[in-house]
Amino acid sequence: MFPSRLPRSYVNYTGRTFFRLLFTIQGIGAFALITFGVMISKFGRASEVIRPLVRKEISRSGVKLLPMFIFMSAALGLLVIGQMVSLLSRVGAVDYLGTVMVVVIVRELGPLITALLVLARVGTQNVVELGTARATGEVEALEALGIDPMHYLVVPRVVGMALGTFALTIYLILGSLISGYLWAFLQGVPMRPGQYLEQLASSLTWIDFAFLALKTCGFGAVVAMVTCYHGLAQPLRLEEISNATVRAVAQAVIACVMFDALFIVLYLIVS
Amino acid sequence: MTETAHPNETAAATNASTQPVITMREVTVKSLRDQRTVVAEQVNWQVNAGEFWAIAGLHRSGKTDFIMLAAGVMAHAHGEHEFLGERMPIFPEESLAHRLKLGLVFDGGHLFNHLTVAQNIALPLQYHRNLPAAEVEPALAELLELTGMKEFARSRPCAMGRSWQQRAALARTLALKPEVLLLDSPLSGLDQRQQNWWLAFLERLAKGHPYYSGKPITVVVTTDNLWAWRGRANRFALLADGRFDVIGRWADVEKSNNPLVQELMSPAETTVNI
């Protein structure tokens, strides 16, 4: 008489999604704690194997992305300055060009764009590599050889991506600040390089440097953690890897934005 | 059919001592892929040092799950499982040396695809002894020579056939000189020449290979063809329908009334009604 399954109501759907979100947060949180635990308890262990892996990860999520980041820094400088020059000229506030660059590029867009690009280029690769390793039994093979998969597969990625993201953000910010001045110069803004540098220096505080380092390393670690979790944490079949990759990207974007929001709050408290 | 043991089996049996290596009491084995699926229940099994076991079963009988549990790669759901007197699975870092006395060769090898064959074999040595690549070269050369893998040293696993991948996995496992060697279906998918090599090599290991300075080691294999292990293995068991039954020696295998044992003993001679 009645259908075997009642149609899903909006409330049911919302509830299910909410609980799924809670379980995911719990899973990623536990995975992060285990990773940090392994990092501390196995610090210096098998350094002849782990160090080359960390270097490889830094190269993959840092050095190899540099050409793309040079292009991105030029584009970012143009985007921000292009919009700002016309706006600030109208109200006679061109002197704030350096301040705008610090607020927009150094504090916000630089780290966030870097994290998203690293996620797109390296994070997705992580899920596919680790998901394949999981599906083809490589993880069990590591365990059988007495090698902790978290130590061999996850720790180098987390450390390498944290350092790589930090380095790339610095390059992106420097590139954007330089290209920003060049675009301003081409648009006829009457400002000498010395004045521009002065504006930048007066807008930067020690908090910016400290937060920039923490934030960028944090972004790298968050991206690595979320993508490694989706590649490794549960047994996967090869056909499930594409779905896991999509899930990982969506969750890593959300995690990065939340992490960024946390820093905005911290910045407001500290400053 | 004869009731006496095969001459080779008798020789192998003399290597065996009564020191228990692997002990299972009332163990429940679950599937690695799906923990809701029970592979075998109430498993009671004791492997003594120097014994050579062949565990037979059809495809999907759970041989892989069983051997992975025996190797401590996954935990048992119920009962007691010990390796050399220590409770399995062994995860603490301080018990790692004890744990590494046991080696597992997976069906198909499960090599790391991002590494070459040489890097695959060297990895456990480098990791556990914290040595740079150059310092494991002599041991690596010996293992490549031992398994006939020299020409594949720089190859990636995906560029090799299954039989060579399996050999590379054997070399990788032997790198740490385990005292107990577990192999999951080492003969599956191999041609006759490769099968002969594996049978001879494992027999030699069980009796005392120069690589182990002539010291016999304990070997456990899973198989879907009992006949191939006649005269080589000295203990046989059957895994079927969620049960693990110890059959005994080859004479007991021959005497067994179980139709499945007969089928696995000489699959080529069995008449199949389709």
Question: Among the listed ranges A154-163, B169-178, B223-232, which one has the minimum average pLDDT value?
Answer: B223-232
First to last CA, chain B: 28
Residue of A nearest to B107 (CA): A137
CB contacts < 8 A, A to B, total 67
Distance CA B87, CA B96 (A): 13
- The ipTM of this complex is 0.86
What are the pLDDT digits (tens) for A23-73?
999 999 999 999 999 999 999 999 999 999 999 999 998 889 999 999 999
Q: What is the pLDDT at residue B6?
A: 54
- B31 contacts on A by Cβ (under 8 Å): none
**Helix or strand (DSSP H, E) at A64:** none
List, for residues B159-192, the tens digit of each pLDDT value. 999 999 999 999 999 999 999 999 999 998 889 9
- Matching residue, tokens 């999604």: A17
Cα dist from A231 to A31, A128, A129, B32, B55, whole Å: 12, 7, 7, 17, 33
Write out the two tokens for A79: 């985007």
With beta carbons under 8 A apart, name residues in chain B contacting A138.
110-113
Closest-approach residue (CA) in chain B for A141:
B110
Residues 6+ apart with CB under 8 A from B14: none
**What pLDDT, on a 0 to 100 scale, did the predictor assign at position B189?**
87
Residue B13: pLDDT over 90: no
DSSP conformational letter for A43: T
Question: Average pLDDT for residues A73-96, to the nearest whole number?
Answer: 87
Q: Which residue has the higher pLDDT, A42 or A6?
A: A42
HEC readout, B49-96 = CCCEEEEECCCCCCHHHHHHHHCCCCCCCEEEEEECCEECCCCCHHHH
- At residue B8, the pLDDT reads 52
Residue among B110, B130, B176 whose CB faces A141 most closely: B110
- Residue of A34, A125, A140 to mutate when probing chain B, most B C-beta within 10 A: A140
Measured in angstroms, the CA of B20 and the nearest CA of chain A are apart by: 21
DSSP letter at A152? I
Position B2 pLDDT exceeds 70: no
Q: How far apart are CA A2 and CA A12, in angstroms?
A: 19
Give mean pLDDT, residues A247-264. Answer: 95
Minimum mean pLDDT range among A234-238, B60-64, B203-207, B233-237: A234-238
Helix axes A110-118, A241-270, angle to 10 degrees: 160
Q: Which letter does DSSP use for residue A6 in this model?
A: P
- C-alpha separations of A102 from A106, A108, A126 in Å: 5, 9, 32
pLDDT(A233) > 80: yes
Q: What pLDDT, on the 0 to 100 scale, is given for residue A14? A: 86
Closest Cα in chain A to B175:
A145
Q: How far apart are CA A83 and CA A77, in angstroms?
A: 10
User: Using beta carbons and an 8 Å cutoff, which residues of B are at the interface with A?
Assistant: 32-33, 68, 71, 73, 93, 96, 99-100, 103-104, 106, 108, 110-114, 123-124, 126-128, 130-133, 169, 172-173, 176
* Mean of per-residue pLDDT scores for chain A: 91
pLDDT band, very low/low/confident/very high, at B149 (cuts 50, 70, 90): very high
Which of B68, B110, B128 is opposite residue A146, by nearest beta carbon? B128
* pLDDT higher than threshold 70 for residue A205: yes
Interface residues from chain A to B (CB-CB < 8 Å): 41-42, 45-49, 129, 132-133, 136-138, 140-147, 152, 235
By mean pLDDT, which of A79-93, A152-166, B103-117 is the weakest? A79-93
Q: Helix, strand or coil for residue A25?
A: helix
- Please tell me which residue of chain B has the smallest CA distance to A38: B93
Does residue B251 register a pLDDT over 60?
yes
Which pair of structure tokens corresponds to residue A51?
A: 């160090």
Domain residue spans of chain A: 11-270
Give A-chain residues touching B176 at CB under 8 angstroms. Answer: 145-146
| CB nearest A146 (choices: B32, B100, B133) | B100
CA distance B149 to B174: 13
**Residue A150: pLDDT over 90:** yes
What sign does the dihedral A137-A141-A144-A150 (CA atoms) show? negative
Residue B131 to chain A, least CA–CA distance (Å):
6
CB-hemisphere CA count at 13 Å for B7?
A: 0
pLDDT tens for residues B32-46?
Answer: 877 888 889 999 999
User: What CA–CA distance (Å, rounded) separates A224 from A166?
Assistant: 13
Q: How far is CA A98 from the centre of its chain?
A: 25
CA A49 to chain CA centroid, nearest Å: 26
**For B130, which of A47, A129, A143 is closest by C-beta distance?**
A47
Mean pLDDT of B80-106: 86
Largest interatomic CA distance in chain A: 82
Mean pLDDT confidence for A1-12: 65
What average pLDDT does this structure show over A188-196? 88
Nearest chain A residue to B70 by CA distance is A144
Which chain B residues have a beta carbon less than 8 Å from that of A136? Answer: 110, 113
Surface-to-core class of residue B271, CB atoms within 10 Å of its CB (0-12 exposed, 13-18 middle, 19+ buried): exposed
Are A136 and B93 an interchain contact pair (Cβ–Cβ within 8 Å)? no
User: Is it true that the peptide bond before B267 is cis, omega within 30 degrees of 0?
Assistant: no
What is the secondary structure of chain B as a DSSP string?
Answer: ---SPPHHHHHHHHH--S-EEEEEEEEEEE-SS-TTSEEEEEEEEEEETT-EEEEE--TTSSHHHHHHHHTTSS--SEEEEEETTEESS---GGGHHHHTTEEEE-TT----TTS-HHHHHHHHHHHHHT--GGGGHHHHHHHHHHTT-GGGTT--GGGS-HHHHHHHHHHHHHTT--SEEEESSTTTT--HHHHHHHHHHHHHHHH--GGGTT---EEEEEES-GGGGTTT-SEEEEEETTEEEEEESHHHHHH---HHHHHHH-GGG-----
Give the angle A170-A173-A179 at the CA atoms, nearest 5°: 135
Instruction: Report the percent of chain B where pLDDT is more than 70.
Output: 90
What residues of A are in contact with residue B179 (Cβ under 8 Å)? none
Is it the case that residue A229 has pLDDT exceeding 70? Answer: yes
Confidence tier at B3 by pLDDT (50, 70, 90): very low
Q: What is the mean pLDDT of chain B?
A: 88
pLDDT digits (tens, 9 = 90+) for A112-137: 999 999 999 999 999 999 999 999 98
- Quote the CA–CA distance of A77 and A71 in Å, as a whole number: 10
- Please tell me the distance from the alpha carbon of residue A230 to that of residue A140, in angstroms, as a whole number: 17
What are the structural domains of chain B?
A: 7-101+180-267 (3.40.50.300), 111-177 (no CATH)
